[in-house]
Amino acid sequence: MISTLAVAALAGGGLLAAPAVAHDGHGTHEAAAAADTDWADYEKILLTKDVGEPIDMAVLPDRRVIHTARDGSVRLTDPTTGVTRVVSRLDVYANSEDGLQGIALAPDFEETGHVYLVYAPRDADGDGEADTPTGNAPDTLPAGEDESYWDRWVGVNRLARLTWTGDELDLDSEQPILDIEVQRGQCCHVGADIDFDADGNLYLSTGDNTPAGTPGADGYAPMNDAPGMNPGFDTRRGAGSTNDLRGKILRITPRADIPAGTAPGEGATYDVPEGNLFPPGTENTRPEIFVMGVRNPFRIEVDPETSSLSWGDYGPDAGSANPDRGPMGYVEWNVVGLDDPHNAGWPYCHGPNAAYNEWDFETGTPGEFFDCAAPRNSSRWNTGLVDLPPARAATLYYGDQPGQQPRDELVSFGSGTGQAPMGGPVYHYDPDLDAPGKLPEQWDGKAFFGEFSQDYYAAFSVDWDTFEVGEIEDFFPNAEVENAGMTPHDNPMDLELGPDGSLYVLEYGDGFFRANPDAGLYRIDHAEGNKAPQPSIGATPASSSQAPLEVAFDASASTDPDGDELTYEWDVDGDGEFDLTGPQVSHTYTELGVYTARLRVTDDEGKIGITSTSISVGNQAPEISVDVPADGGFFDWGDEIPFEVSTTDAEDGTETVCDRVAWSYGLGHDEHAHPEVSGTGCTGVFPTDADSPEHGAGAHLYGAVVITYTDGGANGLPPAAGEATLRLNPKLQQAEHATLTGVEVVEDDSASAGAYVAGLARGDAVALERVSLTGIDSATAAVRGKGTLQLRWGSPTAKPFAKVAVPSTSDWTDVSLAVGERTGTGTLYVTATGSLDVDALTMVGEGIGTPPAAESSSGPSGAARTEGEH
């Protein structure tokens, strides 16, 4: 939570005394949704919900869309047929955030078919063995090992070029272009976006490959190079180094003709153009670097017409500035000219060029503040220059509350929490383009932007000579989208302009490490007058173990934004013929197989919407039961949380093949999560990290678990997967992070995390959702005021099962409430009579976790104790 100290940032080594309110010249920029824009003339059209765990996309010249998922799958969506297929699959290392990432078409794609991908190869050297261990690397050097131990965790993220055959990638055509050495077995920050300039130069973003929860960082710059610590905890070795490709935006020129089998490298698979940050031959530098000092530039955009490079960059999680550590955690959007290589500052300076302290992580004491005009890299892991180029302030930066940045629009458009900037393309209106859905001229020259955590899109007016940002507009606000009966924006992941002048958006949806049910690929069109219908398809049942299978199809949930009467056509057997009509139809599948059933919905004026679903005849997906832990249970950071999983499969029965049970545990933070540990097995433990609170004081943190089970296939059909998810809650719950009714959040340094819930009275509620009180004996609440504090289960009007009188007090006071037997997972409501302020609740009892066993001296903690325990 952000406190009123948010702007005691440190700029150039000195304190910024003034708060981060509107700058001179910016105070008149109000949150705007383009007053002259009639949003009734726009529509958001679903292209597919079949996106896997969506990462990136590229729109083909024929408007089909190739999109990637982290598990290595490449999908092709054809908007004209409504069909999405997995067309290729790469063998990827998928621990943490690694896997298949960016995709881009080569500038000469129509002649060569070349497509560029970034992914983490499981077996980069092709020897048939995984390059690195599975699971997580330890925080500290195991007993008896020297620092060469860390070498076993070194892998690569690979930029590769492949050939598109028209309907799929030719995996045999793969030519590695550039390998980026990375530290595996830890989270986070991959970057991995690709774009090209007018000269054919390729720009590649790379993340700093450093955990947000680095021990001792506490939400500030992670620079822990204390003896024995994992080198991954010091981002100076990557983003802050002139001789490392991590935490950078690289610029190279791929060679057109590369002999098969050529190893990636400068002068072999690519050349370095003139004008990068360090001229070739400069000692202790990499010539590929165009911009250094970035943390996680997840989305970049090169715009040849304006000769500009823009990117969104994620920041750390400190909720407020600390006079001993540095600024609060800002995120950034930057734009520069293609003739302007520079140091963006991370981890020495951030946001408004606010300086971090060179904190001594071994002793936990402050040092000197970095000089943003002349930062120095003193890390023991540094292989580059000590004296670095000057740091550059961000074009735009923001926190997560109004008043913490010059441009409050950036935290005013959305409804979520947290900060997650996604850079987007610059629109160039073409009056000669014959495309009825193209965006109008009012967006000409504006840069699009997406906010993953806050669920909005924006358009920035930029002076392309000075790169100053003027008006910031809320693009197609969610209120307008929902009022029109369309799907609201939900965690924007990628934005691309198509050859038709429409804006294509890939949305991740809510949830983590999985194919979220609300993820999807959409197209935003300008559509005056009549809008396309919104198709919805239901199929019951969608799978069976044998033929024949009779399926009832239902399209009655389809809608039309204009209220038109709809007609319904069905191609249920995938033969290309729409030969059934009506909102409900049935079909009997007499042969085993996997079928694509399509629905086409047409309105009165002939506009259509089309979608599809898959029917499996011969193999049903298995069901997963998580016997322990309880979903929503409470634990202490550092606990090991035992788990037991069982499955039921219509074809295979109840005997679970434990090698096929795969799980991922991650650190949930606001609306996103950082995957931390993965493994396999029916039993084991989820290892929570005692250093997770280092993400930032008062951050909204929890454990996020996804478990999958893949069967062996049946009747000649491919394997099917079932899935279960868990939310694991820390025992300390800040009231301001709950779902609130009738109260307000007040920032106050006297509260445990810098904020509290004020004025809880009769009819108000603080709701802790998706919780289980398994193993909890009581709850301790920090409160003040006068009244009675109550706990209710399942409803804010249910009979209180616990209550305690709070005497009149102006100081924070701990009161205890007995919990007793509460079964299942549900919502815990905190209510009151009188008027009480509530700071936090602490659950007391064993909960679902146990203190960790002694760590093995021969391998990683956590995953080493779980994998193989079947």
744 has a pLDDT exceeding 70: yes
The three-state secondary structure class of 237 is: helix
Mean pLDDT of 370-379: 98
Q: Given this model, what pLDDT does residue 24 score?
A: 34
Say which range, 127-131, 215-219, 452-456, 865-869, has the weakest mean pLDDT. 865-869
Q: Given this model, what pLDDT does residue 674 score?
A: 74
348 has a pLDDT exceeding 80: yes
What pLDDT digit, counting tens, does each position of 317-341 carry? 888 899 999 999 999 999 999 999 9
When pLDDT is cut at 50, 70 and 90, the band that residue 657 belongs to is very high
Helices (H) and strands (E) in the chain, counts: 3, 54
| Highest mean predicted confidence (pLDDT) among 11-20, 178-187, 857-866 | 178-187
Cis peptide before 436 (omega within 30 of 0): no
Please give the backbone phi and psi of residue 789, each rounded to the nearest 5 degrees, phi first.
-95, 135
Q: Are 344 and 334 in contact (CB under 8 A)?
A: yes
Q: Strand 802-818 to strand 755-760: parallel, antiparallel, or no bridges (unpaired)?
A: unpaired
Q: Vertex 518, ends 575 and 634: CA angle to 5°?
A: 140
Mean pLDDT of 663-667: 88
Mean pLDDT of 720-737: 93
What pLDDT digit, counting tens, does each position of 567-592 carry? 999 999 988 899 999 999 999 999 99
Determine the straight-line distance between the first and last CA of the chain, rounded to whole angstroms: 41
* pTM for the structure as a whole: 0.83
Can you tell me the distance from the alpha carbon of 702 to that of 418, in angstroms, rounded to the nearest whole number? 14
When pLDDT is cut at 50, 70 and 90, the band that residue 856 belongs to is very low
Q: Are 115 and 104 in contact (CB under 8 A)?
A: yes
383 has a pLDDT exceeding 90: yes
Burial class (CB in 10 A: 0-12, 13-18, 19+), 335: buried
Among 298, 363, 150, residue whose Cα is nearest residue 237: 150
865 has a pLDDT exceeding 60: no
Which token pair is 183?
A: 């530290």
Compute CA distances 629 → 623, 686, 724, 822, 843, whole Å: 17, 10, 12, 15, 16
Q: Given this model, what pLDDT does residue 34 score?
A: 53
Mean pLDDT of 469-476: 97
Mean pLDDT of 647-673: 88
Q: Given this model, what pLDDT does residue 29 score?
A: 38
When pLDDT is cut at 50, 70 and 90, the band that residue 854 belongs to is low
Can you tell me the distance from the alpha carbon of 264 to that of 250, in angstroms, rounded to the nearest whole number? 15
Q: What percent of the chain stands above pLDDT 70?
A: 93
Mean pLDDT rounded to a whole number for the chain: 91
2 has a pLDDT exceeding 70: no
1 has a pLDDT exceeding 90: no
Question: Does the CA dihedral 433-434-435-438 come out positive or negative?
Answer: positive
Q: Given this model, what pLDDT does residue 868 score?
A: 30
Mean pLDDT of 588-597: 94
Mean pLDDT of 397-421: 90
Radius of gyration of the chain (CA): 27
Please give the backbone phi and psi of residue 315, each rounded to the nearest 5 degrees, phi first.
-120, 175
When pLDDT is cut at 50, 70 and 90, the band that residue 31 belongs to is very low
Contacts (Cβ under 8 Å, ≥6 apart) of 352: 9, 11, 16, 20, 327, 330, 393, 394, 397
533 has a pLDDT exceeding 60: yes
27 has a pLDDT exceeding 90: no
When pLDDT is cut at 50, 70 and 90, the band that residue 478 belongs to is very high
Can you tell me the distance from the alpha carbon of 785 to that of 811, in angstroms, rounded to the nearest whole number? 8
Please give the backbone phi and psi of residue 581, each rounded to the nearest 5 degrees, phi first.
-135, 160
DSSP E strands, 476-632: 492-497, 503-507, 520-526, 538-540, 543-544, 549-554, 567-571, 580-581, 584-589, 593-602, 608-617, 623-628
20 has a pLDDT exceeding 70: no
What pLDDT digit, counting tens, does each position of 99-157 carry? 999 999 999 999 999 999 999 999 999 999 999 998 789 999 999 999 999 999 999 99
Among 843, 632, 839, residue whose Cα is nearest residue 743: 839
What pLDDT digit, counting tens, does each position of 544-553 carry? 999 999 999 9
What are the DSSP calls for 472-510, one per residue?
EEEES-HHHHHHTT-PPP-SEEEEEE-TTSPEEEEE--S
More confidently predicted of 415 and 71: 71
